Amino acid sequence: MSIKLGDTAPDFQAETSLGDIKFHEFLGDSWGILFSHPADYTPVCTTELGYTAKLKSEFDKRGTKVIALSVDGVEDHQNWIKDINETQNTDVQFPVIADKNRRISELYDFIHPNASLTATVRSLLIIDPGKKVRLIITYPASTGRNFNEILRVLDSLQLVDSHKIATPVNWKNGEDVIVPPTISTEEARKIFPKGVTEVKPYLRYTPQPNT
């Protein structure tokens, strides 16, 4: 199947480096990040998992649970995690899913025949508390993911869900946001007491509402 934005993230049961899980139960009411890796002991992914572990407090602040997936088994995962902790000077505390039969990879469309008939592509999904897929990014095997960008998108999605706004190019937490076209300027001035700057009738900015 092909996962699209707005779809419900499929539920599954799996073995992980931290024991068996049911995916939706694992997520609970949290936001979630599910990201796939072609195999254990790959250098780019080693740096990614290490950096993700260092961001634990940032994900905790955003009420977000992180879980990785690789097509190797639990024992390999656990030994790889020891390498990650050693080489990246960190402590990986999130689970890594074992997907030796590629059942979950195929469920989530992580196998792309043009890239590889057997290994997963390096995809990342952000899933909201309603279990809806809100972001899908797929990287080539040679390029490490930018987790600062993942945090930026997570901030944007959570802000959009709590306020009637959109975020402009290169937006970062604390900067001005955009008033959506569905809201008139007159209405916007009532909704956003910090003020509305109209550049064009369709392009209006307001200070971030929750700062």
Total domains in the chain come to 2
Whether the per-residue pLDDT at 112 is higher than 70: the answer is no
Q: Which helix (H) or strand (E) holds 33?
A: strand 31-37
Contact (CB, 8 A) for 70 and 38: yes
Question: If we measure between CA atoms, which residue out of 63, 70, 58, 6 comes closest to residue 34?
Answer: 70
Sign, CA dihedral 130-131-136-140, equals: positive
172 shares its domain with 69: no
Percent of the chain with pLDDT over 70: 95
Q: Read off the pLDDT of each residue in 61-89 and give the average, rounded to a whole number.
A: 96
Inside any domain, residue 155: no
| Separation CA 9–CA 149 (nearest Å) | 21
DSSP 8-state class, residue 9: P
Whether the per-residue pLDDT at 111 is higher than 90: the answer is no
Whether the per-residue pLDDT at 67 is higher than 90: the answer is yes
- Of the given ranges (49-53, 91-95, 122-126), which has the lowest mean pLDDT? 122-126
137 shares its domain with 172: no
- Residue 148's contacts (CB-CB under 8 Å, 6 or more residues apart) are none
Inside any domain, residue 152: no
171 shares its domain with 101: no
CA torsion 14-19-25-26 (nearest 10°) is: -110
**Between 25 and 140, whose confidence is greater?**
25
Phi and psi at residue 185, in whole multiples of 5°? -60, -40
Catalytic residues: 45
pTM over 0.85: yes
In 10 A of CB 57, how many CB atoms? Answer: 8
The mean pLDDT value of the chain amounts to 93
129 shares its domain with 172: no
| Separation CA 65–CA 48 (nearest Å) | 16
44 shares its domain with 130: yes
Whether the per-residue pLDDT at 13 is higher than 80: the answer is yes
pLDDT, tens digit, 9 for 90 and up, residues 116-175: 545 556 899 999 999 999 999 998 878 889 999 999 999 999 999 999 999 999 999 999
pLDDT at position 116: 53
